[in-house]
Each structure stands twice: as structure tokens, then as C-alpha cells.
Chains A and B, each alone.
Chain A
Amino acid sequence: MSDQSSAQPRHVVVLAHPNPNSFNASVVRTYCETVRSCGQEAIVRDLYAMGFDPVLKDDERPRAQGITLSPDVEAELAAIRGADIYTLVYPIWFAMPPAMMTGYIDRVLGAGVTAREIQDRAGESVLSGRHMLGITTSGTREIWLDEQGQIESLRSLIDHYLLHAFRMKSCEHLHLGGIVEGFSKRFVDQALYEVYERARKVCATVAAERHAAGARRRGST
């Protein structure tokens, strides 16, 4: 974990949306501005803009004789490794993340992790021991999604599953519902304010952890 001793806490923000002017993109901008105003570092991985390839290759499936990571996955892992928190921002399409985001989990976040390791809770991934925050949006209001059991199912599909599979420190979720085309500025501002508040809370948490870790280090010398 030597990489975590970098000067400031680091947030990796992964965005999966095809439109750079979308509400999801605004969420990312607000999140990053807030993080930087807290004196912390934020890097954005805009998957559509990067032209990320979400299709897992046959060679990338974990096998007895080992696994071969593709160069693009290796490069991506190098770019994101060692962050304090991974924040995934995406719309919910048909009750699930876009293919772009599931592919990022399949190829990058879950690189080389086998089903056996997940079952034994021994999966080693860039997420191990880190925090994760999912920020999702949907066109229907949260209450309706809830009636369908969707929010709970999505949470158990992604959040709970990844939390355990990769032994993460924590996994939280912020859902912003009722996001349709042409919604009012007041509504947008309100939703972005929720993002701002959550980002500040996350910054405080990781800063406190850094502080505690620093105190332990000083105490042990």
C-alpha cells in the first residue's frame, strides 16, 4: 500500500455515459470540483470519451495456467491503482449499468479474479481495501424503482457483491431519480447539491483515515 502514502487522498471517478453534456457528466464535474476544493485529488476516467473496449476477451478469463491481461487493461490499471476511493457514475438502463460499466468491471476492476476467490472472499483487485461510491441516475423516480424492487436488486447485484468479492472497505450508493430530458434548473441544482454534500462527506472520511494512519505510523517509530 505504499502508493497510498501519496500527498493527498485520491479519488478515481469512472463515468459511463455517451453524452459529454449529460446530467451524469455534470455529476462528475460537481464531484471533482468538490473534491479539489477539499484539497484532495480527483482523476476522471470517461469511458466513452476514452473509447474503452468493454468486451472481455477469451484470453482474459482466469484459468489454471494463469491469465493474460491485455495492454489496454494493464495501462488502465496503472492509471487508477492506489486510489483511496473509486466513484462510479452511470445511468441505470433497464435496471442495470450500461454495458460500458459492466465491461469495465469485467475487464479492469475484476481483472484476474476467479469465481473461487470470490466465493472465498480472497479476490485481489485494485478495489481491495478501498472505498467505493456508486452514483446512479434514472429516468423514473426512486419511489417507483423501489416498488419494483429494483434499487435493492441493483444494490445487491453491484454494491454488496463487489464489496464482498473484492474485500472493499466500504461501498455506498447515491441514487438520483427523475432525471429526464428538459427537467428544470432548480431540480438539477438540487440533485447536484446532493452530489456536493456526499463528496464532502467522503472527503472528510478519507482525510480522517489518512490522519489516523499517519498517527499510527508516527506512534510506531
Chain B
Amino acid sequence: MSHPPAFYSPRHVVVLAHPNRSSFNGLVADAYCEAVRACGQEAIVRDLYGMGFDPLLKDHERPGRQGFALSNDVEAEHDAIRGSNVFVMVYPIWFGMPPAMMKGYVDRVLGAGVTPQDVRHRTALTLMKGQRLVNITSSGASKHWLNEQDQMEALRNVLGRYLLHAFAIKAYEDLHFGETTEGLDQEYIDQNLAVVDQRARSICAAVAADRAAHGATAG
């Protein structure tokens, strides 16, 4: 499943965790998807609040334990996102961390069945194996302040490098928007969404290049 036939267009899954669909984060998700579609690729949104996703890992979902079993909602979610080339996580940073919704999506869906031993030996078989991970985050604090607190680097370690390793992901990149508080002016929003648009296009180009290279070696 890691190499779907070349005639499928590449697919991006945008996972959104924000309680307000018309928030800046919601706009980021929309801008990303529009850019992907403009590049002739496919984009789907998983709006976790909108879906009423349950972020709490159940006891029987704990990896490597006796009686391990995935819940129906997790299986259904896997079916919805399986075979995607790019996983884009869009969320606000609250108290230095992702919202519970996003953390729960990692615990239950993206990390389903992955044991500490899998992580250590990089043997995890996940839906993200060999694919790309992108984090697009926002916070009310300034980027400068977060940097000073080592927050950006810490988040990158945890949600970037660690997941890259744990889920055998091929590449990680991120984009952060600071000072996204209530009542943003339109100009600021437009500027930032233009940055999202640009980044989405560069990711689409990279994915298309992967495809071309894979097609070339397969041929």
C-alpha cells in the first residue's frame, strides 16, 4: 500500500483540530486544500471537532497488550485516510502543546498498535510509513517568544523528529504562525494564507517528483 499505482493522483490528508471551523486554523486548512487541488492533486479534510472525534485511547487499544483490539471508529478512520501521501496536521498550540483532540488522534489513529519496541527499532507499520508529515501550527504568542522559551524546538522534537522516527515517516516539515489572536486584520490573514498556499504548492511539487522518480525506477 505504500506505493499506490501511478495513475492515482497524490493525496493529502489535512487533519484539523480547532473548536471553531471559521477560525484562522480553519482558513489555513481550506487554503492548503485549495492549493493542492489547483496543483491537480487530491485533498481531504478530517475536521476532528466537526466529526466529534473521541480522543481518548481505550484500555484495549494500548499497543502490545493482551486483548489488543482497534475500535470501530479507529478502523473507519484508517479506511478514510489510508494510502495518502501527505499528512498535514493543522492546530493551535495551547499551553505549549497540541490540543487534546490532536494528541488523541496521534494516540488512537496514527499510532494505532505501535509499541515502544517498534519505535525503538523503527519497525512500526503505520499508515504514514514512507510518507510525508507537515505540521502547521499557530499560537497567540509571538514566534520570537516561543523560540526564547525553547518551545518551538521542543515541539519540533516531539511532533516532528520523534514521530518521523516512531512512524517511519519519510520527511517532516513545519510552518508556524505567531500572534494569531482574536480579531486579526484581513491583511495579516491574507499574508499568512499566501504563505500556506506557497508551501502547499512546494509540497505538491515534491510529491510529484517522488512519483516521477518512483515511476522511472519501476519502469
Instruction: State the A residues within 8 Å of B (CB).
Output: 18-19, 48, 54-58, 61, 63-64, 93-100, 102-103, 105-106, 110, 113-116, 118-119, 138-140, 144, 148-150, 152-154, 156-158, 160-162, 164-165, 180-181
Q: Are A156 and B149 in contact (CB under 8 A)?
A: yes
Q: A55-B100, A100-B100, A150-B158 are in contact. List 8 more A-B contacts (CB 8 A).
A: A54-B104, A57-B19, A97-B103, A98-B103, A119-B142, A139-B117, A144-B120, A161-B95
Q: B95, A165: Cβ atoms under 8 Å?
A: yes
A residues within 8 A CB of B182?
A: 63-64
Interchain nearest-CB distance for B123 vs A (Å): 14
Kindly provide the distance from the CB of A176 to the nearest chain B CB, expressed in whole angstroms: 13
Tell whether, in the assembled complex, residue A157 and residue B116 are in contact, meaning their CB atoms are under 8 Å apart.
no
A113 to B20, CA, bound (A): 18
Which A residues lie within 8 Å of B157 (CB)? 95, 148-150, 153
Docked CA distance A119–B178 (Å): 12
Provide the bound-state CA to CA distance between A181 and B55, in Å. Answer: 23
20 pairs, CB–CB < 8 Å, chain A vs chain B = A18-B59, A19-B62, A54-B56, A54-B104, A56-B19, A64-B182, A94-B106, A95-B158, A98-B56, A99-B101, A103-B100, A106-B95, A119-B142, A138-B116, A139-B115, A150-B158, A154-B158, A156-B151, A160-B149, A161-B95
- Which chain B positions have C-beta within 8 A of A105? 94-95, 97
Q: Is the CB of B98 within 8 A of A61?
A: no
Contacts of B49 in A (CB 8 A): 55
Which A residues lie within 8 Å of B107 (CB)?
Answer: 93-94, 98-99
C-alpha spacing A58/B150, complex, angstroms? 28
**Least Cβ distance of B139 to chain A in Å?**
6
Beta-carbon contact of A140 and B116 below 8 Å: yes
Query: Are A61 and B19 within 8 A (Cβ)?
Result: yes
B5 within 8 A of A: no
Is residue B76 within 8 Å, beta carbon to beta carbon, of the partner chain?
no
Residues of B within 8 A of A99 (CB): 55-57, 100-101, 103-104, 107
Q: Choose the segment among B7-15, B161-169, B191-199, B209-217 that binds chain A (4+ C-beta atoms closer than 8 Å).
A: B161-169
In the complex, the answer to whether A102 meets B116 with C-beta atoms within 8 Å is no
In the bound complex, CA of A16 to CA of B53 (Å):
19
Among the interface residues B154, B165, B181, which one has the most CB atoms of the partner chain A within 10 A? B154
With a CB–CB cut-off of 8 A, which chain A residues contact B119? Answer: 94, 140
Of listed B100, B111, B183, residue having the most chain A CB within 10 A: B100
Which residues does chain A contribute within 8 Å of B19, judged by CB atoms? 55-58, 61
> A107: nearest residue on chain B (CB-CB)?
B100
Residues of chain A lying within 8 A (CB to CB) of residue B95: 102, 105-106, 110, 113, 118, 161-162, 165
Asked if A161 contacts B96 (CB within 8 A), the reply is yes
Q: Tell me the nearest residue of chain B to A138, going by C-beta.
A: B116
The chain B residue with its CB closest to the CB of A18 is B59
Provided the pairs A140-B120, A165-B95 are in contact, do residues A95 and B59 lie with their beta carbons within 8 angstroms?
Answer: no
Q: Is the CB of A94 within 8 A of B166?
A: yes
Query: Which residue of chain B lies nearest to A149 when distances are taken between CB atoms in the complex?
Result: B157
- Neighbouring B residues of A152 by C-beta, 8 Å: 154
B99 near A118: Cβ-Cβ < 8 Å: no
